[in-house]
Structure 1
């Protein structure tokens, strides 16, 4: 059975419940899409936790080399990595007991989705979290 994203109503509920969003592949360069999306989400009230082993801080938040290094609970793991590199991220998202595994627009990997689903996570693929948040929660959370 091919993968299907959750309903828009379910995605809305996931976003409303989320506080901490770990962004894997968040760039420290302001002109990169990952940076722009994370900054917009931060301005909407989400706590952005950067996962980038090559930076110390991004958007005023401490960077972590891996999801496992984050010392607090993570609600959404938002991924900006190429599709072929997301299986280990899914495995780690399961290990840290995140609630949602979210692959940004253009990123799709059925194996990663199966791993995350089997670990109890809701999975969203090939959708931009900023766009979904703007459509589903235009006035904020």
Structure 2
């Protein structure tokens, strides 16, 4: 398991499940990362722009490899994304509360990924 205190310092993030709805965590996390000066790539096949940022339909469209992918989606989508084979092994997977279960965490680890599954990006950003 990756150390969330170190991972939160990463510069390039992708938010899987980013949203234009200010009530949703996909919006709040995207906004908080942007406000902290991170490079943020929102991912959502249904959006075009969020907070002035271009939204990407999938990981394969990103202009660079993110240091961290923040999962703000149902765990079934998490399995699909991991199975896609698109995520480089050196990218850390951060599972937001409610986006995973122990099976998904173990699956991600078995595929060679470093994982954070014990904290919320919003909370950790307040501590840096």
Structure-2 residue corresponding to 1:95: 86
Structure-1 residue corresponding to 2:18: 26
Q: Which runs of 5+ in 2 are unaligned?
A: none
Kindly provide the CA deviation profile for residues 9-37 of structure 1, in whole angstroms up to 9, marking residues without a partner as x. Answer: x2212222x11111111111222222012
Q: How do 1:7-26 and structure 2 match up within 5 A? A: 10-16=3-9, 18-26=10-18
Contact 1:87 1:111 (8 Å CA) reproduced: no
Q: Of 100, 104, 113, which residue of structure 2 is paired with 1:112?
A: 104
Q: Which runs of 5+ in 1 are unaligned?
A: none
Contact 2:32 2:125 (8 Å CA) reproduced: no
The alignment yields a C-alpha RMSD, in angstroms, of 2.0
Aligned-partner Cα distance in 2 for 1:110–1:41: 26
Aligned-partner Cα distance in 2 for 1:45–1:13: 16
Compute the TM-score of the two structures, normalised by the length of structure 1: 0.78
Aligned-partner Cα distance in 2 for 1:42–1:13: 18
Local SS of the residue matching 1:86: helix
Structure 1 residue 127: Cα displacement: 2.5
Q: Of 38, 49, 52, which residue of structure 1 is paired with 2:41?
A: 49
Structure 1 residue 126: Cα displacement: 5.4
Structure-2 residue corresponding to 1:60: 52
Local SS of the residue matching 2:66: coil
Larger RCO (CA under 8 A, 6+ residues apart): 2
- Range with bigger deviation, 101-110 or 48-57: 101-110
